[in-house]
Amino acid sequence: MDVKIGTRKSPLAQIQTDNVIARLQNLFPEHRFLKVLLTTTGDKDQTTALSQMAGQGVFVKTIQQKLLTGEIDLAVHSAKDLPSTEPEGLTLAAFPERAPAGDALILRNEFTTLTDLPEGAVIGTGSLRRQFQLLSLRPDFMIKSLRGNIDTRLKKLAQKEYDGIMMAQAALLRHPKALGDFKLHQVSLALDEFLPAVGQGVIAVEAVKNSPAAKIAAAIDDKNVRSAITCERAFLSVFGVGCNVPLAAHAKVIGEKIELSTMLGSKTGASYSLVQVGANPVILGQNSARALQKLANWPLE
Q: Write down the pLDDT at residue 301.
A: 65
d(CA 284, CA 266): 23
Domains in the chain, CATH or no CATH each: 1-98+202-221 (3.40.190.10), 103-188 (3.40.190.10), 223-301 (3.30.160.40)
Determine which of 18-27, 171-180, 233-242, 249-258 has the lowest per-residue pLDDT on average: 171-180
pLDDT digits (tens, 9 = 90+) for 102-132: 999 999 989 999 998 999 999 999 999 999 9
Q: Above 70 in pLDDT, residue 296? A: yes
pLDDT digits (tens, 9 = 90+) for 79-104: 999 998 999 999 999 999 899 999 99
Using H for helix, E for strand and C for coil, what is the string for the chain? Answer: CEEEEEEECCHHHHHHHHHHHHHHHHHCCCCEEEEEEECCHHHHCCCCCHHHCCCCCCCCHHHHHHHHCCCCCEEEEEHHHCCCCCCCCEEEEECCCECCCCEEEEEECCCCCCCCCCCCCEEECCCHHHHHHHHHHCCCCEEECCCCCHHHHHHHHHCCCCCEEEEEHHHHHHCCHHHHHHCEEEEECCCCCCCCCCCCCEEEEEEECCCHHHHHHHHHCCHHHHHHHHHHHHHHHHHCCHHHCCEEEEEEEECCEEEEEEEEECCCCCEEEEEEEECCHHHHHHHHHHHHHHHHCCCCC
Q: Above 50 in pLDDT, residue 28? A: yes
Q: Write down the pLDDT at residue 43.
A: 64
The number of angstroms, rounded, from the C-alpha of 234 to the middle of its chain's C-alpha atoms is 15
Quick one: average pLDDT of 205-210?
Answer: 98
Quick one: average pLDDT of 275-294?
Answer: 98
74-to-129, 217, 288 alpha-carbon distances in Å? 30, 8, 32
- List the end-to-end C-alpha distance of the chain, in Å, as a whole number: 54
Quick one: average pLDDT of 245-262?
Answer: 97
Average pLDDT of the chain is: 92
Burial class (CB in 10 A: 0-12, 13-18, 19+), 18: middle
CA atoms within 13 A on the CB side of 90: 26
pLDDT digits (tens, 9 = 90+) for 144-170: 999 888 989 999 999 999 999 999 999
Q: Above 90 in pLDDT, residue 78? A: yes
pLDDT band for position 53 (50/70/90)? very low
Q: Write down the pLDDT at residue 48.
A: 59
Active site residues: 81
Residue 215's contacts (CB-CB under 8 Å, 6 or more residues apart) are 93
pLDDT band for position 300 (50/70/90)? confident
Q: Write down the pLDDT at residue 148.
A: 86
Q: Write down the pLDDT at residue 50.
A: 56
Quick one: average pLDDT of 54-65?
Answer: 80
One-letter amino acid identity for 242?
G
Q: Above 60 in pLDDT, residue 277? A: yes
Q: pTM for the complete prediction?
A: 0.92
> For residue 298, which of 253, 247, 257, 259 has the smallest C-alpha distance?
247
- What are the residues facing 206 on neighbouring strands? 75, 92
One-letter amino acid identity for 117?
L
The number of angstroms, rounded, from the C-alpha of 176 to the middle of its chain's C-alpha atoms is 17
Determine which of 43-52, 92-101, 239-248 has the lowest per-residue pLDDT on average: 43-52
